[in-house]
Structure 1
Amino acid sequence: MVLKVIVTGASGVLGSAVRKAFTASAATEVLSLAHSRSGDGLTKLDLLDEPEVEKVFRDFKPNWVIHCAAERRPDVAEKDPEGAQKLNVEVPDLLARLSKTLKFTLVYISTDYVFDGTSPPYPPSARPNPVQLYGQTKLDGELRILGVEGATAVIIRVPVLYGPAPNNFDTAVNILVGVVQDQSGKSYKMDHYATRYPTCTVDIANFLVKLSAHKKPIPPVLHYSANEPFTKYEMCLVFAQILGLPHSHIIPDAEPPTGAGATTRPKDCKLYTQETEDLGLEDGLGLSLFEEWWMEYLKK
């Protein structure tokens, strides 16, 4: 039997990794949706166009929908709350309703930023308490999905991501490589306050392929995260060591973000992943080691 999978946000860093992993999987047909790009296997679709979304989904008849599309940038969400609300809340609500009527499994990619970062680690059952608009919209998306009775959905919370990307600025981790490489004399103040657990998009994609083949019941909320803690400044030190570049132009800042225009960041949102490990999938979570992955990637 052919597994039919829709991937939203398929031109993004996570979506493209998910698309590649499912496309490589045997007996899988993938419809890759993107907002503004088409060609190269991508189908252009505005997820805010409800009638068109419903038509595309009805015609394709998916078994699984991996919803990667989102406004993922906290600073942008603060500047455009209406846009973040539409993409992060209204679209998941639509997809959950379609899951109910079309009988597919919806996988919603959420974030560790639904937590306030004051009492890690957080199991899936922990009470969310976002401290910024981005985290609130992603939590509201979760609640909309869970509120659609009859929908089959899995919420997967992940931390900050890295992975293969055409441009370093495509992820909050990859962009740090460019900071280290900038030896022009410009100085950078770098966050040394918030602890993060950078996780590879390729690992998440491979995990989702295994999850789609899982025959046992899947909990409604799962956590997927690497365990290695880094501040952004510490990530820069790793990149500087790999690249053999000085890093004196990068100044650690151990203070929480304050002042006009500063977006609040939680201090430590470590996700507890035991429930995910207990699923018993082959190779477990299949997590990469941060420095090891980057050493191999930057060689290319």
Structure 2
Amino acid sequence: MTFKVIITGASGVLGSAVRAAFSGAGAGTEVLSLAHSRSGDGLTKLDLLNEGEVERVFRDFKPNWVIHCAAERRPDVAEKDPEGAQKLNAGVPGHLARLAKSLKFTLLYGQAKLDGELAILGVEGAAAVILRVPVLYGPAPNNSDSAVNILVDVVQDQSGKSYKMDHYATRYPTCTVDIANFLVKLSAYKKPIPPILHYSGAEPFTKYEMCLIFAQILRLPHGHIIPDADPPTGTGATTRPRDCQLYTKETEDLGLEDGLGLSLFEEWWSEYLKK
């Protein structure tokens, strides 16, 4: 029997890794990869705000699972168009949850956006799993697509420009390839899955410490990157815990083969940057 999965946001950093993992899962898996503005190369263009068209596509494909990776993650864009961001980050997940209930598929929501989570959890009877993840890194068309990858550009900028880099908040960067492989294993899990799971890398770094690792791998000087150990203050400062580690015990307790299957940050980047 063919396992059918739809991936939204399949051209993004997380979505493209999920797409690659499921596409390589074997002949018994059929993947429909959706993107907002791109088509070709295995991508199908679909506006997720067009509820009628979304329902038509989903009914025709008849998915077993839908992995929703599409969201507006950029705060500056969300601030300029809060109504549009709300529709994408909350309205779309809510609609997908209603479709999950009526079309009998499992919805996996791969972003930690509170309004979207509440919209999904508010649809009684929908089979849905929310996977919360921290800051991500992985293969990307542009380094600017990831808050971690873009630090490589900062290290490589030897023009004389200086950068003030956060050395206050501890982050747990997580590889999108690891998440994608975990989702393939999770889709084959036969026991009940908790409605909310956490998936996170285990190694703590500040952004400045990540820059030092990239500088070491690339053998580049890093004097132009200035550590900033002060907490963010002032109007518009983003409020977040100093240590934002996610609790992953419930995820580990699922007992999936190879557990979380986490990459080591420096080891992964050493191999990736060699390419």
Could you state the TM-score of these two structures normalised by the residue count of structure 1? 0.89
Cα pair 1:257 1:265 within 8 Å, conserved: no
Aligned to 2:8: 8
Give the CA deviation at 1:79.
3.2
Separation in structure 1 between the aligned mates of residue 193 and residue 139 of structure 2, nearest angstrom? 28
Equivalent residue runs for 1:248-259 within 5 Å: 248-259=223-234
Aligned to 1:153: 128
Aligned to 1:139: 114
Residue type at the aligned position of 2:153: G
Cα pair 2:6 2:66 within 8 Å, conserved: yes
Aligned to 1:28: 29
Give the CA deviation at 1:171.
0.3
State the Cα deviation string for residues 194-229 of structure 1 (Å, max 9, x = none).
111000000000000000000111000000001100
Separation in structure 2 between the aligned mates of residue 198 and residue 77 of structure 1, nearest angstrom? 23
Separation in structure 2 between the aligned mates of residue 275 and residue 263 of structure 1, nearest angstrom? 29
Could you say what secondary structure the match of 1:10 adopts? coil
Q: CA RMSD in A?
A: 1.0
Aligned to 2:83: 82
Separation in structure 2 between the aligned mates of residue 230 and residue 175 of structure 1, nearest angstrom? 15
Q: Does 1:245 align with 2:225?
A: no
Residue type at the aligned position of 2:76: D
Count of aligned residue pairs for this structure pair: 274
Aligned to 2:242: 267
Could you say what secondary structure the match of 1:110 adopts? coil
Give the CA deviation at 1:80.
2.6
Separation in structure 2 between the aligned mates of residue 68 and residue 263 of structure 1, nearest angstrom? 23
Residue type at the aligned position of 2:222: H
Separation in structure 1 between the aligned mates of residue 136 and residue 265 of structure 2, nearest angstrom? 11
Aligned to 2:61: 60
Give the CA deviation at 1:82.
1.5
Cα pair 1:66 1:108 within 8 Å, conserved: yes
Residue type at the aligned position of 1:12: G
Give the CA deviation at 1:166.
1.4
Q: Does 1:179 align with 2:154?
A: yes
Give the CA deviation at 1:167.
1.1
Could you say what secondary structure the match of 2:5 adopts? strand
Separation in structure 1 between the aligned mates of residue 75 and residue 49 of structure 2, nearest angstrom? 20
Aligned to 1:91: 92
Separation in structure 1 between the aligned mates of residue 268 and residue 88 of structure 2, nearest angstrom? 31
Aligned to 1:223: 198
Moved more, 53-62 or 265-274: 265-274
State the Cα deviation string for residues 157-187 of structure 1 (Å, max 9, x = none).
0000000111111100000000000000000
Could you state the TM-score of these two structures normalised by the residue count of structure 2? 0.97
Give the CA deviation at 1:50.
0.6
Give the CA deviation at 1:261.
4.3
Give the CA deviation at 1:72.
1.3
Residue type at the aligned position of 1:83: G
CA pair 55-154 structure 1, distance change in 2 beyond 3 A: same
Give the CA deviation at 1:263.
3.4
Give the CA deviation at 1:78.
3.0
Query: Alignment partner for residue 170 of structure 1, among 138, 145, 159?
Result: 145
Equivalent residue runs for 1:279-294 within 5 Å: 279-294=254-269
CA pair 45-140 structure 1, distance change in 2 beyond 3 A: same
Query: Alignment partner for residue 277 of structure 1, among 252, 257, 261?
Result: 252
Separation in structure 2 between the aligned mates of residue 266 and residue 36 of structure 1, nearest angstrom? 35
Give the CA deviation at 1:143.
1.0
State the Cα deviation string for residues 84-132 of structure 1 (Å, max 9, x = none).
2111100000000000000000000123xxxxxxxxxxxxxxxxxxxxx
Equivalent residue runs for 1:115-134 within 5 Å: none
Residue type at the aligned position of 1:7: I
Separation in structure 2 between the aligned mates of residue 50 and residue 255 of structure 1, nearest angstrom? 45
Separation in structure 1 between the aligned mates of residue 96 and residue 8 of structure 2, nearest angstrom? 11
Aligned to 2:38: 37
Is there any run of 5+ residues in structure 2 with no aligned partner, and where?
none
Aligned to 1:199: 174
